[in-house]
Chains A and B, each alone.
Chain A
Amino acid sequence: MTLDKVKKGQQIIIRKILDELVRAQAIRFGIAEGSVITCQEIVPAGPVVVRRAKQEIAIGRNLARNIDVELVN
């Protein structure tokens, strides 16, 4: 599934970031393919807020749609 489909509180692992620029941007924040992140908050029809370690990042819905993720159980 893609990041915009994730529900609040779910732990997910990043599988693939399609956009090259977003991929480079994400990796600088410590979010790379294979990283485990938590969905902190979802603004309805708006951005997805994720957390990795102490770092909180808000990702716009259009970007989130291009990030493939998988649930961690």
Chain B
Amino acid sequence: MVDNKEKLINATIVGNPNVGKSVIFNNFTNTYTDVSNYPGTTVEAICGRSGNFVFSDTPGTYGLSGFTEEERLARDIVLRSDMVINVVDATHLERDLFLTQHLIDAGLQIVVALNLMDEAEEQGIYINVEKLEEELGVPVIPTVAVNGDGMEKLLKLLCAARVGNITPGIMENLSYYKLPQRESLLVAEGDLDTANRNNCKPGNRRDLFYRLRRDRVNGIVASVVREITVESSMASRIGHIMLHPVTGIPMLLLTLFLIYQLIGVVVAQTLVGYTEEIVMGGMYQPFIRNLLSGFISEQSTIWSILAGKYGLFTMAVTYLFGLLLPLVMGFQLVLSILEDSGYLPRIAVLMDRILLGMGLNGQAVIPMILGFGCVTMATMSTRMLGSDREKFIAIVILAFTVPCSAQMAIITSMMAGLGFYYALAYGLILFTIMVSTGIILSRLLPGSPSGLWIDLPPVRLPRLSNVLKKTWIKSTDFVQEAVPLFAGGALFLSVLEITGGLEAIENLLVPVTVNLLGLPKEVAGGFIMGFIRREFGTAGLFTTPMNPVQQFVALITVTFFVPCIATAMIIFKERGWKQGAAIWLSIFVLAFVVGGIVSKLISLINIMPGVSVMPVLSGITVLVLALVLYINWNGEESLSR
């Protein structure tokens, strides 16, 4: 190529999950992609350009196999690329070199970044890099990506990428297909998509090729790695404690308790108390009203739009910055620490048995926990699940029952005001509905959950800089996304209020809001806002004064209310319009059904003299949960017989 200044080179970054692909990608392109210590952070391909190179980051994969949707995505990007930067974890060579050899066998141009060299050294693993280079037949550059070590050399050596030494015994099987090497290899290994795309029959050489490749990789590792056994380190002992049920379950509960203390008490009460009431309510709002009253009459329409009940500069700004931002930052901080520490996959292992009953496997815990951060993002991450059935169940549970961090934030601060028994009843109802939804869907849909097969990354102390950076990025993303929606929502409500449309809707909804839920009819405005964003709706509900029981019913209803617009769009994208609409409408109806049942139950309990409502409601919920589990258990028994 003479004119290679103009020619763009597609360089794809490929590697096993959690080896530092995204860090290297960021280093090359200077944008931030989500980096964490668990598989599945990158669920969509991300591109960035630097010089002549167009870099693509891919989801982690253990081979060019296409067993999951993420792997298929990675495979397709690799098939289209001009060269591959294969990131390899120096502490897991045996596992990682399988992918490297797979890429080599596909005849791709490759450079290997031998990453995490610092950790390898700490663990007493010594790698003869020159020998490894010779064995593989491609350049190998040792790196410590998080510190930037080796990045310059890697970038410089990209043009030295070359085709490596193919596994003996494979090439002779490929000539039958009149296709480029990469395609013939995949077709021979029985890859359905590649076979269909090239109009040929998938081959049956997977077992043979995989075994040959595995033998070759084991041989290479034996000849290049010298390992000095280091005593079981602190990290693996902690990993042990997390996994063993006797210590793991208390530890999980303790973790949840600490999270509640941090978010529910320190942030939601102390910090938000200061930002919402003192800074926003006491300083900002009087200031802005004072400022505006210099230009606008307090009786005018403009005034109510800008500074009225749903005012752009009063309500919207206060909720967004006084209430939500501190809480979202708190949640994102906690999630970042959980992600980076390697704790999430261990929770997945602990919870596997419980999730099997819901038609999922332990891996689904990761989208569920992420959902408490952002349901939209969690819905996207359901792609890592093994089957379509699991994806569907997980998406419905997320959309129906999991409140996102912003909504959870408001709920937590409301619950803190209502007291312990309210919070307990709320938690139990949420959990019961979540479990029941899973059980019912699992019963209705044919099939059974796929087995858990999850790689446990080493327990790592999260890097403070990465945690803070991630928290900051996610929080600013939240503000950027929320500002226009909040402004639009507030404007819309003000217009509705001024034109009398709001009252008309409120009156229309009286059978639901007042008769069914026992709430004041003004809460209709909150639900309307809930269509846009859940937390916006939740906050909107409490512009209307209510007694504690009404607040409780409102919180329950809005928790199960339809997901925000962003999540709805993702659901439509993932499930198609028909299924998406069905999910959305069902949730819309079910939220009011659940709220109605809770409201009626409370009135029933209230009739009984001398009983306190919330403890009894909690008791009833526990009974319902026990009943659901019992029926399910019996069903499982009879099915297995």
Contacts and interface: CB of A to CB of B under 8 A. Distances in A.
Contact of A56 (B125, B239, B362): B239
A43 B65 contact: no
B218 A30 contact: yes
Contacts of B451: 22, 59-63
A54 B244 CA distance: 19
**Range for the number of chain A residues in contact with chain B:** 20 to 34
B277 interface: no
If over half of B's interface residues share one DSSP class (helix, strand or loop), that class is named, otherwise mixed; here it is helix
A63 to B, nearest CB: 3
A70 B181 CA distance: 39
A57 B67 contact: no
Contacts of A61: 352-353, 451
Given A21-B67, A24-B210, A28-B210, 11 more contacts: A28-B95, A32-B211, A32-B214, A46-B362, A54-B92, A56-B456, A57-B455, A58-B456, A59-B453, A60-B362, A60-B451
Contacts of A52: 94
Contacts of B353: 43-46, 61
Contact of B453 (A22, A43, A45, A46): A22
Per CB-CB distance, the 8 closest pairs between chain A and chain B, nearest first, are A60-B452, A63-B451, A60-B451, A56-B456, A46-B353, A28-B62, A58-B349, A30-B94
Interface residues of B, number: 40
B240 interface: yes
Contacts of A56: 239, 455-456
Contacts of A60: 352, 356, 361-362, 451-453
Nearest to B361: A60
B454 A58 contact: yes
6 contacts: A24-B67, A27-B210, A41-B240, A43-B350, A49-B349, A58-B452
B469 interface: no
B206 interface: yes
Contacts, number: 109
B551 to A, nearest CB: 39
A55 B95 contact: yes
Contact of A55 (B99, B218, B455): B455
Contacts of B454: 57-58
Contact of A63 (B98, B239, B452): B452
B453 A27 contact: no
A25 B214 CA distance: 12
Contacts of A72: none
B211 to A, nearest CB: 7
B65, B361, B451: which has the most chain A beta carbons within 10 Å?
Answer: B451
B219 interface: no
A49 B456 contact: yes
Interface in A9-33: 20-30, 32
Interface in B339-379: 345, 348-350, 352-353, 356, 361-362
Nearest to B206: A24
Most chain B CB within a 10 A radius of its CB, from A27, A40, A54: A54
Interface in B85-124: 91-92, 94-95, 98-99, 123
B243 interface: yes
B453 to A, nearest CB: 6
A12 B95 CA distance: 19
B172 interface: no
A45 B67 CA distance: 26
A62 B239 CA distance: 23
Contacts of A49: 243, 349, 456
A57 B239 CA distance: 12
Contacts of B615: none
A57 B453 contact: yes
Nearest to A52: B94
B94 A53 contact: yes
Nearest to A58: B349
A25 B207 CA distance: 11
B92 A55 contact: yes
B183 to A, nearest CB: 19
A53 to B, nearest CB: 6
B330 interface: no
Contact of A28 (B65, B245, B362): B65
A40 B240 CA distance: 8
B115 to A, nearest CB: 15
A53 B209 CA distance: 23
Contacts of B67: 21, 24-25
A58 B210 contact: no
